[in-house]
A = this chain, B = another copy of it.
């Protein structure tokens, strides 16, 4: 019986690359005071102790800085992303380099570990088992949110007990917002605990002027592109199926866009464009069906369609329908529950406004049924359960059947559907993510040593070789603005959606008609950890285009 695979064995010896500035003695250089991206007065009022801090940049130094040993806590927050273990390894090695007796504690299963005092010390032996591996299993992750004073105070008890000087929170935009709230609170009560954030998410929606990319996006999109490429090669060999492929990423379409740039599918839907152009479900179905029909006219009854997981929520008409359904089913719950299934459908069709009723009737029966039956504990429609890839494929099939009768389409349409998400979140990090994550962690250790709080660990210039990467820290307040969340205005890090005037989308838009009609599939193949640099060390197309 094996314990670890040969690849994991070989990969454990990989030494992640650091920016030159972090390789020896380090000097922190502070810039000018900063402002938040918007709503400066509001943010300043909410973060009196952590607002307006300078950007910090680390530079090489010839002078060693004497430091005492210190203890650090680390938390993995939210969904898994490749490279989390390397962030922890970077922190571990960073604090040990600063003082060999420094210690690292991991809070278990996410923020709940801090609140409930569940933790373990990361020993050198344990750390070595997890270097360059995927997953968050070293200490686990969780989705609890650090949001209120009671949690912060409970956390402080264990932090003091363990003599912890700083907490590093590895998470997405919400978790980093909360890291800043925690930093502000601990500073306001002089708790003596610093808080540092690290930008994590495979979705790629935590990025801005200061943060070039979140870790995990590189690896996850490469895994998805591998399997999409393989499916495309199959489609092009068998020449009989359209493959509808849904990709993880609910709140932005960066994953789908990056995979499209890597694999050149026939169709890729971008949710942000659907919303901006106010497209209906029928618009999307018609667009896909037209691509299918055009290719069929060339004798090509096969192809690929990429669909972002969050699409439905970006279709204005679907949003309206869902909002009215939620209202209707809440108000008419009793009458509704007495009906049998078919009568329920008719009941909904009668009660809905004309506009929404038409949208509802255009849906395949199983989706319509699901929208009325499967509701969450709050009585709301569960949009995330909708099998969007199946929905679109069936609606395209129905439209093509109509077109066939009208003589507008003469091909054959068969489809297969796929959903890729869990396949990529815990892959072993690519060289890029292994280096980037290790650097983020190592850099976080230097931020701790420099005494700051409310900063996000920042590594920039990432399309260049690692030696040239720029290391430092960004005040989290600098990335914030005020947004309405659950009915209240809150200070949050602005989520990065796909920008329709950005280079990645414009590049895609430039080629998509060609990709739709012709067969321009690219087959990226699996992530390579060894071998030629042009194969192993390329960052994402998104990052390369954005940083050009």
A10 B428 Cβ-Cβ under 8 A = no
A534 in contact (CB, < 8 A) = yes
Does A542 touch B at the CB level, under 8 Å? no
CA distance A428 to B234 in the complex (A): 11
A526: CB under 8 A from chain B?
yes
Other-chain residue from B264, B529, B538 in contact with A531 (beta carbon distance below 8 A): B529
Contact, CB under 8 Å: B423 / A136: no
**Complex interface: chain B residues within 8 A of A11 (CB):** 525
Which residues from chain B contact A523 at a C-beta distance below 8 Å? 4-5, 8, 133-135, 428
A238: chain B residues at CB < 8 Å are 79-80, 136, 141
Nearest-Cβ distance from residue A520 to partner chain B, whole angstroms: 7
Residues facing B in A409-434 (CB within 8 A) are 416, 418-419, 422-428
Interface residues of A in 285-344 (CB under 8 A from B): none
Query: Is A530 engaged at the interface, CB distance under 8 Å to the other chain?
Result: yes
Q: Tell me, in angstroms, the Cα distance from A154 to B133 when the chains sit together.
A: 57
Q: Report the bound CA distance from A428 to B79 in whole Å.
A: 31
From residue A523, how far is it (CB to closest CB) to chain B in Å? 6
Q: Smallest CB–CB gap between A365 and chain B, Å?
A: 11
Q: B423–A231 contact, CB under 8 A?
A: yes
Contacts of A530 in B (CB 8 A): 528, 530-532, 535
**In this assembly, does A6 line the interface, its C-beta being within 8 Å of a C-beta of chain B?**
yes
Pick from B9, B109, B237, B427: contact of A136, CB below 8 A.
B237
Interface residues in A222-269 by Cβ distance below 8 A to B read 223, 226-227, 229-231, 233-234, 236-239, 243, 262, 264
State in angstroms the CA–CA spacing of A535 and B236 once bound together. 30
A126 close to B (CB within 8 Å): no
The smallest beta-carbon distance between A528 and chain B, in angstroms, is 6
Contact in complex: B528, A236 (CB < 8 Å): no
Whether the Cβ atoms of B236 and A135 lie closer than 8 Å is yes
Bound Cα distance from A140 to B11, whole angstroms: 37
- The minimal Cβ–Cβ distance linking A218 to chain B, given in whole angstroms, is 14
Q: Is A354 an interface residue (CB 8 A)?
A: no
Is there contact, CB below 8 Å, between B237 and A424?
no
A189 is an interface residue with CB less than 8 A from chain B: no
Q: Is the CB of A234 within 8 A of B135?
A: yes
| A5-B525, A8-B523, A528-B7 known; A230+B141 contact, CB < 8 A | no
CB distance from A413 to the nearest CB of B (A): 17
| Inter-chain contact B535/A423, CB cutoff 8 Å | no
Report whether A134 and B233 are in contact in the complex, using a CB–CB cutoff of 8 Å: yes
- CB of A307 to closest CB in B, whole Å: 16
A135 to B422, CA, bound (A): 25
A525, B264: Cβ atoms closer than 8 Å: no
Is residue A489 contacting chain B, with contact meaning CB distance below 8 A?
no
Residue A497 lies at the interface, judged by CB distance under 8 Å to chain B? no
Closest-CB distance, A547 to chain B (whole angstroms): 18
Residues of B with C-beta under 8 A to A423 = 227, 230-231, 418
From B79, B236, B532, A10 is in contact (CB under 8 Å) with: B532
Q: How far is the CB of A233 from chain B (nearest CB, A)?
A: 4
A10 and B535 within 8 A (CB): yes
Given contacts A80-B238, A234-B425, A530-B535, 6 further A-B contacts (CB under 8 A): A4-B523, A109-B239, A135-B523, A137-B237, A223-B230, A528-B529
In the assembled complex, 5 residue pairs joining A and B whose CB atoms fall closer than 8 Å, in A order, are A10-B532, A136-B238, A141-B237, A223-B526, A528-B530
Closest 6 CB pairs of A and B: A530-B531, A526-B526, A233-B426, A135-B233, A7-B525, A136-B237
